[in-house]
């Protein structure tokens, strides 16, 4: 299958599926449902850029979590490269969590 045969929408959905396999070590919910992923950009060359945050700037996984995200996304078939950009603006809050995550953690 040629590189251009990959449907960007499908690739984007695969990226989200992979993000949902990565968990915050302190909270038993995946980083996507937690709202730690602010944005996923995918260009025509299938370079993926992920804008993410952590629950706190001094999170114990501040080094390892973004690296895990980068490695897992980079290993998706069809993804040419993966880049993770960290931001604390806006800072993460419980409001960013999905209803599912809030329910699971008993916030609802």
Q: Does some domain include residue 26?
A: yes
The CATH code of the domain that includes 34 is 3.30.300.130
Residues 6 or more apart whose CB falls under 8 angstroms from that of 3 comprise 46, 78
Phi, psi (deg, nearest 5) at residue 9: -65, -45
Domain enclosing residue 60, as ranges: 3-87
- For the chain, the domain total comes to 1
Task: Answer yes or no: is pLDDT of 25 > 90.
Answer: no
Return the CA Rg of the chain.
14
The rounded percent of the chain whose pLDDT value lies above 70 is 96
Whether this model's pTM surpasses 0.85:
yes
Report pLDDT digits (tens) over 58-87: 888 888 999 999 999 999 999 999 999 999
- C-alpha closest to that of 45 among 6, 86, 84: 6
């Amino acid at each position: 299958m040629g590189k251009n045969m990959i449907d960007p929408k499908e690739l984007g959905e695969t990226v989200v599926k992979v993000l949902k396999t990565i968990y915050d070590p302190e909270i038993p919910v995946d980083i996507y449902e937690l709202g730690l992923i602010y944005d996923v950009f995918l260009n025509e060359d299938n370079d993926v850029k992920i804008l993410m945050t952590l629950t706190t700037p001094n999170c114990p996984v501040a080094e390892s979590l973004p690296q895990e995200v980068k490695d897992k996304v980079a290993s998706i078939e069809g993804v040419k490269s993966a880049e993770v950009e960290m931001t604390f603006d806006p800072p993460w809050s419980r409001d960013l969590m999905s209803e599912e995550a809030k329910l699971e953690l008993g916030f609802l």
